[in-house]
Amino acid sequence: MVALAPSGYIDHMRGGLKLMVKGAQTFYGLMETIGIGEVGAVMPWRGGLMRRMCKPESPLAGLCSAFLPVMSGGNTGLHDMEYLPSMLSNLPAGTSFRLMAQIGQIIGANGIRKFDYGVEENLRRYGTRVPPQYKLEKITCPVAIMWSQNDIIVTPQDVAKTVRRLPNVILNYKVPHPTFNHVDFLFADVARELVYDPIVKLFASYL
């Protein structure tokens, strides 16, 4: 298994995403009550809007390019601006308010846990007042960890905690670029060279 920026712990998360998930903790119940369970869905109109607003010659392109650093950390010259409209047409790609709330609960919880419904419901569902942790020690398959120094969502400190709990880590790989961040695993121009090629090489060693 290859884990890119694995979120076994997110105690040190920073940036815009942290604010969003903490807000979801407060409002997810209300949103579900009024029938809105999803946030950030990819809507048909979004692609056209992003292509007009975020193309390199647009006066709003700078505003568009500021979104990713606020959410996941700044980088230097790793994204082709021609692709920015496509990136923002599909990012975020939609998730539930409840999942966002759960991520908010996990920040500072010293590891990923099941959803916190409150003491009464936790006792009914789990038999404990606090949701139980997921037991990373039970993941016994070979695991390759890939992480980056500039990731403000899954920070190096938190990756180190995850590595210590996994019993069969075969690779602990820091992406060799000082400003590579969380979304760069998907979108950076150098992702093939710095991430994908090493993954292929790792898989080939098992053939």
- What is the rounded distance in angstroms from the CA atom of residue 31 to the CA atom of residue 98? 9
Q: Along the 207 residues of the chain, how does pLDDT read in single tens digits?
A: 999 999 999 999 998 889 889 988 888 888 888 988 887 777 778 878 888 888 888 888 878 877 777 777 776 667 777 878 888 877 777 888 899 999 999 999 999 999 999 999 999 999 999 999 999 999 999 999 999 999 999 999 999 999 999 999 999 999 999 999 998 998 888 999 999 999 999 999 988
Greatest alpha-carbon span in the chain:
58
pTM for the model stands at: 0.86
Q: Which residue has tokens 């993941």?
A: 139
Neighbours of 39 (CB within 10 A): 18
Give the model's pLDDT for residue 67. 76
Q: Do 7 and 154 contact (CB within 8 A), yes or no?
A: yes
Buried b (16+ CB within 10 A) or exposed e, 72-105: bbebeebbeeeebbebbbebeeeebbbbbbbbbb
